[in-house]
Amino acid sequence: MSEDVLSADIGPTNIGPANVGKSRNRVSATEIALAVGGFGIGTGEFAIMGLLPQVADDVAVSVPAAGAVISAYALGVVVGAPLIAVLAARFARFHVLLVLMAVFALGNFASAVAPSFHPLVAARFFAGLPHGAYFGVAALVAAGLAAPNQRARAVGRVMMGLTIATLFGTPLVAWFGQALGWRSAFAIVGGISLMTMVLIWLHVPRDRGDPQATPLRELSALGSLQVWLLLGICAIGCGGMFAVFTYIAPALTQVAGVSVANVPVMLSVFGAGMILGNIVGSRLADWSLTRAIGIALVFNVFAYILFYFTMTSPWMAIVNVLFIGGGFAVVPGVQTRLMDVAGKAQTLAAALSHSAFNFANALGAWLGGIAIAAGYGWTSPGLVGAVLGIGGFAIFLASVIVDRRRTGRVA
């Protein structure tokens, strides 16, 4: 898929690099509107993790049982991303974004007023449904408005909302949840969703949609080997970040000697790393898409090994947590590359990447827990992450070889 096709895909409202001044401001406003939605989704996904004890106490279940609300959201992402992408492909992306954010708002308001445990689990599943499809469609809109050599940075600016949520949104909303009750956290996220709908209405260009798009055409993306290889990079190669981050708090306190009071500060360092990784990864991807993915995967393996061997002091903990967050650098490149290889089934491919990331979350947390339970220590998820990272890099090499054989170049 060539860049000019991607740029034209938004329809008659496309803002190309030749339109300067007012058009450039409109592109920036569009990206900010989409990033605010990402900020709300990221805040809603992660804030609950710091409020589980309050949730468990209020709905009369144990803390481990309350973890089902997190699992239900992740399951909603996995189910909703491909389903919504297939069904909504023919509709105008402007309208799809509005509907997705309305569903997300409704799911969070329903979570805030859920009377008991099981309705809360159902509400979290419902709130997770639009997650992947929103980021997929938003990435397509941003890339379609950008110059050909700046598509990855446009995608990265949309994803910036998600990374900023880890640094500011999640701790702030978690604080409100602790002060005013956990239900207020979901109400705030619902409010951010409504604000996003207003911003989308004001700033996202109206497009015509694609009447020729059909579910079968979208499902054709699943017939592409490159799509599966890129999803494999997401599902395996990114699992290491979640293997380490899931158990970062005990590693900080038990191994690095960080006080419990300073753990939130370290989590903010992780958020800062994600922001830096997003910025650097986007720029690398616009320089060379393939090399950017490979460099990010190699960096991740290095970061996980460094975590395993040097997590012995608070100062090294800062470096390690920053580097692990920096692993987000792989995301803009993979997201942009998926849009390139999916042909006319870009909506499904772009949304599926977020299903793959949620699979990586579950896989990494599970394998990291196995290593710890086997007695290998709180830093053992670093070795798990390194193995997953090497697996992701092997899939990446397979993707490069397949692509170069197809184009006749020597691998």
**In a shared domain, residues 208 and 235:** no
**In a shared domain, residues 172 and 30:** yes
CATH number of the domain encompassing residue 328: 1.20.1250.20
Give the contacts of 204 (CB within 8 A, at least 6 positions apart).
30, 33, 34, 93, 94, 97, 141
**In a shared domain, residues 364 and 230:** yes
Q: How many Å from the N-terminal Cα to the C-terminal Cα in the chain?
A: 21
**In a shared domain, residues 240 and 171:** no
Q: Which of 213, 230, 247 is the last residue of a domain?
A: 213
Six-digit token pair at 242?
């979640």
Give yes or no for residue 188 having a pLDDT over 80.
yes
If one compares 183 and 357, the residue with the highest pLDDT of the two is 183
Number of domains in the chain: 2
User: What's the rounded mean pLDDT across residues 322-341?
Assistant: 88
Largest distance between two CA atoms of the chain: 62
Predicted confidence at residue 408, as pLDDT, reads: 60
Question: How far is Cα 241 from Cα 67, in angstroms, rounded to an integer?
Answer: 20
Give yes or no for residue 18 having a pLDDT over 70.
no
Predicted confidence at residue 245, as pLDDT, reads: 82
Give yes or no for residue 7 having a pLDDT over 70.
no
**In a shared domain, residues 112 and 238:** no
User: What's the rounded mean pLDDT across residues 226-253?
Assistant: 87
User: What's the rounded mean pLDDT across residues 221-235?
Assistant: 86
* Domain span including residue 354: 215-411
**In a shared domain, residues 289 and 364:** yes
Predicted confidence at residue 213, as pLDDT, reads: 65
Give yes or no for residue 289 having a pLDDT over 90.
no
**In a shared domain, residues 184 and 250:** no
**In a shared domain, residues 349 and 387:** yes
If one compares 161 and 199, the residue with the highest pLDDT of the two is 199
Percent of the chain whose predicted confidence (pLDDT) is above 70? 89
User: What's the rounded mean pLDDT across residues 359-371?
Assistant: 85
Predicted confidence at residue 258, as pLDDT, reads: 86
For the chain, give the secondary structure using H, E and C: CCHHHHHHCCCCCCCCCCCCCHHHHHHHHHHHHHHHHHHHHHHHHHHHHHCHHHHHHHHCCCHHHHCHHHHHHHHHHHHHHHHHHHHHCCCCHHHHHHHHHHHHHHHHHHHHCCCCHHHHHHHHHHHHCCHHHHHHHHHHHHHHHCCHHHHHHHHHHHHHHHHHHHHHHHHHHHHHHHHHCHHHHHHHHHHHHHHHHHHHHHHCCCCCCCCCCCHHHHHHHHHCHHHHHHHHHHHHHCHHHHHHHCCHHHHHHHHCCCCHHHHHHHHHHHHHHHHHHHHHHHHHHHHCHHHHHHHHHHHHHHHHHHHHHHCCCHHHHHHHHHHHHHHHHHHHHHHHHHHHHCCCCHHHHHHHHHHHHHHHHHHHHHHHHHHHHCCCCCCHHHHHHHHHHHHHHHHHHHHHHHHHHHHCCCC
User: What's the rounded mean pLDDT across residues 248-268?
Assistant: 84
**In a shared domain, residues 176 and 226:** no
Give yes or no for residue 252 having a pLDDT over 80.
yes
Six-digit token pair at 193?
């969703």
Predicted confidence at residue 129, as pLDDT, reads: 92
Give yes or no for residue 411 having a pLDDT over 70.
no
Give yes or no for residue 309 having a pLDDT over 90.
yes
Q: Which of 213, 248, 277 is the last residue of a domain?
A: 213
What is the per-residue pLDDT across 369-395, written as a single tens digit (0 to 9) for each?
888 888 998 899 999 999 999 999 999
Predicted confidence at residue 6, as pLDDT, reads: 34
Predicted confidence at residue 224, as pLDDT, reads: 79
What is the per-residue pLDDT across 36-91, written as a single tens digit (0 to 9) for each?
999 999 888 877 766 777 888 888 888 667 778 887 888 888 888 888 888 887 78
Burial environment of residue 4 by CB neighbours within 10 A (0 to 12, 13 to 18, 19 or more): exposed
**In a shared domain, residues 192 and 269:** no
Give yes or no for residue 94 having a pLDDT over 70.
yes
Look at the alpha carbons of 261, 264, 265, 266 in this order and tell me if their dihedral is positive or negative. positive
Judge contact between 304 and 386, C-beta under 8 A: yes
**In a shared domain, residues 158 and 301:** no
Query: Which residue in this structure is represented by tokens 């803390």?
Result: 63
Closest C-alpha among 361, 246, 348, 363 to residue 307: 246
**In a shared domain, residues 330 and 187:** no
Rg (the chain; Cα; Å): 20
User: What's the rounded mean pLDDT across residues 124-138?
Assistant: 90
Predicted confidence at residue 409, as pLDDT, reads: 52
52-66, 160-174, 250-264, 281-295: which has the highest mean pLDDT? 281-295
Q: Which of 198, 213, 228 is the last residue of a domain?
A: 213
What is the per-residue pLDDT across 390-404, written as a single tens digit (0 to 9) for each?
999 999 999 999 888
